[in-house]
Structure 1
Amino acid sequence: MKIKNKITLIFVLLVASMQMVIFTIIYLFAVDYTTNEFFVKLKNRTLIAEQSHFEKDALSTEIYEDLIQKHLQTLSEEREFIYTVDTPKTQINTELDVVLPEEFYSDLIQNKYAEVKIGHSFFSGINYTDHNTSYFIIVTASDVDGTNELSKLRSLLILLFLLTIFVLFLIGRFFAKRTLDPLSKIIEKVNTIRVTNLHERLHTSENKDELSQLTNTFNDMLDRLETSFEIQSNFINNASHELKNPLTAILGQTEIALLKERSPEEYIKVLEGVETEALRLDALINSLLKFAQTENDEKGLLITPIRLDELILEVKDNIDLINPENQIEIDFSDFPENPDLLIIDGNYGLINIALNNVLDNASKFSDNKKVIVKIVTNNSAIKIVVTDHGVGIPSDEIKNIYQPFYRAANVRNVKGYGFGLPLTYKIMKLHSGTIEVFSEHKKGTIVTLIFPNKYQEFSVSK
Structure 2
Amino acid sequence: MKIRTALTLKNTCATATVFLICLTMIYVVSEHTRSRTFFHDLRGEAITKAHLFLQNQVDARTMQSIYLNNRRFINEVEVAVYTTDFHMLYHDAIQNDIIKEDRKMIDRILEEKEIEFYIGSYQALGMLYQFQGQHYIVTAAAYDGYGYHNLYELRRTLLLLFVIGLSLLVLVGYFLARSALKPIRDIVREAENITSSHLDRRLPVKNEKDELGELSTTFNALLNRLEVSFNSQKMFVSNVSHEMRTPLAALIAELDLALQKERTEQQYRAAMENALQDARRMNKLIDGLLNLAKADYQKEQIKMQDIRLDELLLDVREYVLKAHPDYTINLLFEQEDADDDRLITVTGNHYLLSIAFSNLMENNCKYSADKASFVQISYWDKWAIVRLSDAGIGMTDVEKQHLFTLFYRGEQEKQVEGHGIGMALSQKIISLHRGQIAVHSQQGEGTTLVVEPPHV
TM-score, normalization by structure 1: 0.80
Equivalent in the alignment of 1:350: 352
CA distance in 2, matches of 1:393, 1:100: 116
Give the SS at the match of 2:137.
strand
CA, structure 1 residues 173+409, in 2 after alignment: closer, same or farther (shift >3 Å)? farther
**What do the CA deviations read for 1:178-231 (whole angstroms, capped 9, x no partner)?**
332222211111110111111222333464322222222222111111111111
Give the SS at the match of 1:187.
helix
1:420 to 408, 419, 422: 422
Equivalent in the alignment of 1:140: 141
CA, structure 1 residues 299+22, in 2 after alignment: closer, same or farther (shift >3 Å)? closer
Asked if 1:452 corresponds to 2:451, the answer is no
Asked if 1:236 corresponds to 2:240, the answer is no
**What do the CA deviations read for 1:323-359 (whole angstroms, capped 9, x no partner)?**
6455766472698442222112332222111111223
Q: Residues 36-435 of structure 1 correspond to what in structure 2 (within 5 A)?
A: 36-57=36-57, 76=75, 78-87=77-86, 96=97, 105=106, 107-128=108-129, 135-205=136-206, 207-296=208-297, 302-321=303-322, 322=324, 324-325=326-327, 330=332, 332=334, 336-365=338-367, 373-378=375-380, 380-386=382-388, 390-392=394-396, 394=398, 398=402, 401=404, 403=406, 406-408=407-409, 410=411, 412-413=413-414, 414-431=416-433, 433-435=434-436
- Which range moved further: 24-33 or 206-215? 206-215
Equivalent in the alignment of 1:457: none
CA, structure 1 residues 30+445, in 2 after alignment: closer, same or farther (shift >3 Å)? farther
Equivalent in the alignment of 2:90: none
Give the SS at the match of 1:401.
coil
Asked if 1:27 corresponds to 2:30, the answer is no
CA distance in 2, matches of 1:345, 1:114: 89
Conservation of the 8 A alpha-carbon contact between 1:391 and 1:441? yes
Give the SS at the match of 1:394.
helix
Equivalent in the alignment of 1:18: 18
Conservation of the 8 A alpha-carbon contact between 2:251 and 2:278? yes
**What do the CA deviations read for 1:113-168 (whole angstroms, capped 9, x no partner)?**
22112431101222346799865332211112111211222222222223223223
Conservation of the 8 A alpha-carbon contact between 1:39 and 1:122? yes
Q: Which amino acid aligns with 1:361?
A: N
Unaligned 5+ segments in structure 2 are: 88-92
Q: Which amino acid aligns with 1:213?
A: E
Equivalent in the alignment of 1:2: 2
Conservation of the 8 A alpha-carbon contact between 2:317 and 2:329? no
CA, structure 1 residues 50+445, in 2 after alignment: closer, same or farther (shift >3 Å)? farther
Q: Which amino acid aligns with 1:428?
A: I
TM-superposed deviation, 1:270: 0.9
Equivalent in the alignment of 1:459: none
CA, structure 1 residues 392+211, in 2 after alignment: closer, same or farther (shift >3 Å)? farther
Q: Which amino acid aligns with 2:290?
A: L
- Which range moved further: 329-338 or 175-184? 329-338
TM-superposed deviation, 1:283: 1.4
CA distance in 1, matches of 2:290, 2:270: 30
CA, structure 1 residues 349+131, in 2 after alignment: closer, same or farther (shift >3 Å)? closer
CA, structure 1 residues 101+68, in 2 after alignment: closer, same or farther (shift >3 Å)? closer
Conservation of the 8 A alpha-carbon contact between 1:12 and 1:172? yes
CA, structure 1 residues 439+161, in 2 after alignment: closer, same or farther (shift >3 Å)? farther
TM-superposed deviation, 1:100: 7.9
Q: Which amino acid aligns with 1:354?
A: A
CA, structure 1 residues 102+66, in 2 after alignment: closer, same or farther (shift >3 Å)? closer
TM-superposed deviation, 1:37: 0.4
Q: Which amino acid aligns with 2:420?
A: G
Give the SS at the match of 2:205.
coil
TM-superposed deviation, 1:287: 2.0
- Which range moved further: 148-157 or 320-329? 320-329
TM-superposed deviation, 1:252: 1.7
CA distance in 1, matches of 2:194, 2:309: 48
Conservation of the 8 A alpha-carbon contact between 2:84 and 2:136? yes
* Root mean square deviation, CA, Å: 4.0
Q: Percent identity?
A: 26
- Which range moved further: 212-221 or 372-381? 372-381
TM-superposed deviation, 1:289: 2.7
Conservation of the 8 A alpha-carbon contact between 1:48 and 1:71? no
Give the SS at the match of 2:124.
strand
TM-superposed deviation, 1:440: 7.0
- How many residue pairs match? The answer is 443
Conservation of the 8 A alpha-carbon contact between 1:376 and 1:384? yes
CA, structure 1 residues 365+50, in 2 after alignment: closer, same or farther (shift >3 Å)? farther
Q: Which amino acid aligns with 2:128?
A: N
